[in-house]
Homo-oligomer: A and B are copies of this chain.
């Protein structure tokens, strides 16, 4: 008898059966009439999810490549830029920018802290401005969702472009590309967009296009202009991952049919249910205990428990995959993703399994309350 599997990581995330079925369709040629209508619809839907009139460029690559395209198209070697980081993915912005020879002003927080616009303002003032600011909306390694709206306003006031890593946040929490004046927003197919990994998307504002024209970092595959020119003709600069585009188009249709606001609301409620359940069994949250935590709930591993062992047990015995801690958090936390194709029974399954595994590992856990608390919280959460 096949064991059921539960993918509860903040990326890749579970993919709805309609999307999986679309992936199994025969391959079509990316320059032919079998693909073009799907491609057009997918690009249009992306703009809707991004809430932008800017072009959203589709790259066949994972999210990091979308971030790299931001550095390569906005910067020249020696440019002074600001990177705001508070975890693994903020560090990635810095790593890429350093590889490209930028002078990185690093506004660095402890992992788990929440970056603020005030700190950014102070840093920009202290250094006399920067050409661009690179921020992370949802720091998937810690569970912190930062106020990129406020940070973008601060960057704009200082005359800097703002580029946002929205890889695990777009479609899960509000990200108003145009209303907030976000010059570059990067996301990936495998998070709240409920599709397999393999595609990165990048929106580019007029100001970012102007910066690109001056930027001297070398780029070919990641060059925005090549992709823009091709997309304008419903062509692709390079053979795209057609199956994943076909799947993504189905997933975006599901998301927009439900409605973005409904999706944001659902993510808030799932986050609340998860946090309340975690606390009810006596565990400690690492991610913030407020409604910003709508992407991933990060839980401290109890002192006497081996965090890596716990996750292997959960997977081997119950078929459940959570994400481990990264970097300095390795072994100290585990992360329950709840973005995309999730409902409250996924949360109760996660909680029930955590409760059982921890109890058996000898942790001091309150039994029999987490699931009910989660359901009550979900049901009675103010919408």
* A interface residues with partner B (beta carbon < 8 Å): 5, 7, 9, 11-15, 20-21, 23-30, 32-34, 60-65, 68, 77, 95-96, 99-101, 188, 190, 196-198, 217-221, 223, 238-244, 312, 315-316, 321, 323
Contacts and interface: CB of A to CB of B under 8 A. Distances in A.
A90 to B, nearest CB: 15
A238 B65 contact: yes
Given A20-B24, A96-B220, 18 more contacts: A7-B26, A12-B242, A13-B27, A23-B23, A23-B24, A28-B321, A29-B323, A32-B315, A32-B321, A34-B315, A60-B198, A62-B221, A64-B239, A99-B223, A100-B220, A188-B239, A196-B244, A243-B243
Contact of A11 (B7, B15, B223, B239): B239
Given A14-B26, A196-B243, A198-B241, A64 B220 contact: yes
Question: Among the interface residues A13, A24, A25, A188, which one has the most CB atoms of the partner chain B within 10 A?
Answer: A24
A61 B63 contact: no
Interface centre among A30, A96, A243 (most CB of B within 10 A): A243
A33 to B, nearest CB: 6
A147 B247 CA distance: 39
A100 B216 CA distance: 10
Given A28-B7, A242-B12, A100 B196 contact: no
Highest count of chain B CB atoms <10 Å: which of A21, A30, A62, A68: A62
Contacts of A190: 27, 239
A190 B198 CA distance: 14
A219 B223 CA distance: 14
Contacts of A77: 218
Contact of A241 (B96, B238, B241, B321): B241
A62 B60 contact: yes
27 contacts: A7-B27, A9-B29, A12-B27, A12-B29, A12-B30, A12-B239, A12-B242, A13-B27, A14-B27, A15-B26, A21-B24, A23-B24, A24-B24, A27-B190, A60-B62, A62-B239, A62-B240, A64-B220, A64-B238, A65-B221, A68-B220, A196-B244, A197-B239, A197-B242, A198-B240, A241-B241, A243-B243
